[in-house]
Amino acid sequence: MKDTKNAQQNNKTRNLFNFIKILSNRFRSKESESLLKNSRKDKLIRIYFFILCGFVAALSIQEQFAIEQLLGGFLISCLLIFILYRDIMRYKPAYLKKYNMLFLLGLLLTGTLLIGRLFGYLLLTLSKGLEYETLESAFFGIPIPAGAMLVSLLFDFHTAITFSFAVSMLVGLWLHDASFTIYAFVGSITAAFSVIRCKKRSSILKGGGYVIAANVFTVIIILLINGELFTIKAPSSIMFAALGGIAVAAIVSLLLPLIEYAFKVYTDISLLELLDLDQPVMKNLMVTAPGTYHHSVIVGNLVESAAEAVGANPLLARVSAYYHDIGKIKIPDYFIENQSGSVSKHDKLTPHMSSMIIINHVKEGVEVARQYKLPEPIIDIIEQHHGTMLVSYFYQKAKEKGDDIVPMEEDYRYHGPKPQTRMAALIMMADAVEAASKVLTDPTPARISSLVDRIINHIFLDAQLDECELTLKDIHEVKKRFSYILTGIFHKRIDYPGFDFTDEDLYKEPAKTPKNKSTENNKSSKEGIKTARSLQG
């Protein structure tokens, strides 16, 4: 009887497992079908968009409307845009996942050509009005490098190189002049170079100066090759080349803030503005949660140094570190760095409730960031900087409570997602290392290095770094940088002669000086006490 019951029970469990497998397979097939549909939809949207960009680019390089010329220009434009697309897919695939960045790149490509046509018409009209004998010199004043400068500021330098190649080829087709292709390419590359790590808006004017020098130098070479350097064409060509560099700086200075606002993209210039302590959210953090603010500053120092070591943007690293814990503004007293007294507010709460409050600061941080309209990469880092890590203190407290119900580990983990970028992973490691360094009683270099190694290894073994691009070599460099910075922070000082900082009498008010003593001795004693207090603080 027992055997038959066991056999029936085994059959039931098998049937249940088979049913669950069938359901999971169906769900997986549905998910895979939806993913395939979404990927096909994305590809179709990109194809239609590139066809539209190719058509607009073909129209912008037409001298006269003719079907054959339009078709040829369209095919060449599509070919150059395809080269640009493949280069982005190979080196910067993240841009293709964001439709606003893809649309912005297409708009910059077609907009550069259309602005070039507009300036060509205006400069040609100006040359006719001034009665220049060589009207073609006016084309050297077309501000084609403005597009490459904007791409370098808004995207990156590598994308700006391929962009410069595509635009220069199209401009050469428009003007039917191979020398102007070289002229536009040299100016565009110089413009892109001049704004790498641009941190001030005045640097755009400096970039315009570099473009002027490159334009004039290239024009002189072109005139020399054509045997026209000592003709009447030279002065007007050089003048228009200089005007082109000035126009580049003016156009970029005008359009950059508009593009940043309209497309919600960021540059190093806008990131520097976020570091201003007069920003409302930073001021709120300093006043409401001073401990969290100090913690964020230290994390910023750690992350900036590590970002330089792994080839990430150090400015974005520092800004993200400053804002990564802004969710603690809502209830700062529930986080230990802001607690002034010995009594914690968590003493009256259950471990599960405490863990929910701690975990919720990530969600609150995202809401505050959206309220203050912070850039999207910073919001992503706020959301990812704890990944799916375990709130181990309250989890262990719940296990030690001795209840019949065993706490589930999932209830004490952050909701994620895990870090998707190197920057988010650096913030995660720096946050954990800085918090753990506060418990070191004797912070010698060896103990600091051991602590950093232990914390980062724990994060690695917990699979928190599985979805980002950090390599083992990068992690090794990060450990070295973190240890170096923390060793500098926890440095030791020599004893000050004449001061015993363990003596309680040092902090008592000085006895009143007898009337027969000089006022100078009284002043010196007060100054000594103030010095001691300041050193102790």
Residue 500 CA to residue 504 CA, distance in Å, equals: 9
The DSSP-derived string for 285-332 is: HHHH-HHHHHHHHHHHHHHHHHHHHHTS-HHHHHHHHHHTTGGGGSSG
C-alpha 251: how far from its chain's center? Answer: 25
**Main-chain phi, psi angles of 343, to 5 degrees:** -85, 130
Quick one: which of 145, 125, 121 has its CA closest to 241? 145
Helices 290-310 and 472-489 cross at an angle (nearest 10°) of 130
Cα radius of gyration (the chain):
32
Asked if 378 contacts 320 with a C-beta cutoff of 8 angstroms, the reply is yes
88: number of CA atoms within 13 Å, CB side?
23
Residue 382 CA to residue 403 CA, distance in Å, equals: 35
**pLDDT attached to residue 3:** 53
Name the helix (H) or strand (E) containing 167: helix 157-175
The tokens for 221 are 């070479």
**pLDDT attached to residue 130:** 80
DSSP state of 390: B
Q: What is the 3-state secondary structure (H, E, C) of 255-284?
A: HHHHHHHHHCCCCHHHHHHHCCCCCHHHHH
For the whole model, what pTM was predicted? 0.77
Name the helix (H) or strand (E) containing 447: helix 445-461
Residue 137 CA to residue 311 CA, distance in Å, equals: 43
Quick one: which of 143, 118, 127 has its CA closest to 236? 127
Residue 263 CA to residue 380 CA, distance in Å, equals: 17
The tokens for 106 are 């297409």
Residue 46 CA to residue 30 CA, distance in Å, equals: 24
Asked if 147 contacts 163 with a C-beta cutoff of 8 angstroms, the reply is yes
DSSP state of 176: T
DSSP-derived 3-state class of residue 91: helix
β-partners of residue 413 are: 390
Residues constituting the chain:
537
Q: What is the 3-state secondary structure (H, E, C) of 17-78?
A: HHHHHHHHHHHHHHHHHHHHHHHHHHHHHHHHHHHHHHHHHHHHCCCCCCHHHHHHHHHHHH
With tokens 């706020």, the residue in question is: 382
DSSP-derived 3-state class of residue 413: strand
Q: How many CB atoms lie within 10 A of CB 128?
A: 11
- Those residues with Cβ within 8 angstroms of residue 211's Cβ, 6 or more apart along the chain or in another chain: 145, 149, 187, 190, 191, 194, 244, 245, 248, 249
DSSP-derived 3-state class of residue 88: helix
DSSP state of 414: -
Tens digit of each residue's pLDDT, the chain (537 residues): 445 545 555 555 455 445 445 544 554 444 445 545 566 777 788 888 889 999 999 999 887 778 888 899 999 999 999 999 999 988 888 788 788 888 999 999 999 999 999 999 999 998 888 877 778 899 999 999 999 999 999 999 999 999 999 999 999 999 988 999 999 999 999 999 999 878 888 899 999 999 999 999 999 999 999 988 888 889 999 999 999 999 999 999 999 999 998 888 888 888 988 998 889 999 999 999 999 999 999 999 999 999 999 988 999 999 999 999 999 999 999 998 988 777 788 888 899 999 999 999 999 999 999 999 899 899 999 999 999 999 998 999 888 876 667 788 888 999 989 999 999 999 999 999 999 998 888 888 999 999 999 999 999 999 999 999 899 999 999 999 999 999 998 877 666 676 665 555 544 544 444 444 334 344 443 343 333 333 233
DSSP-derived 3-state class of residue 372: coil
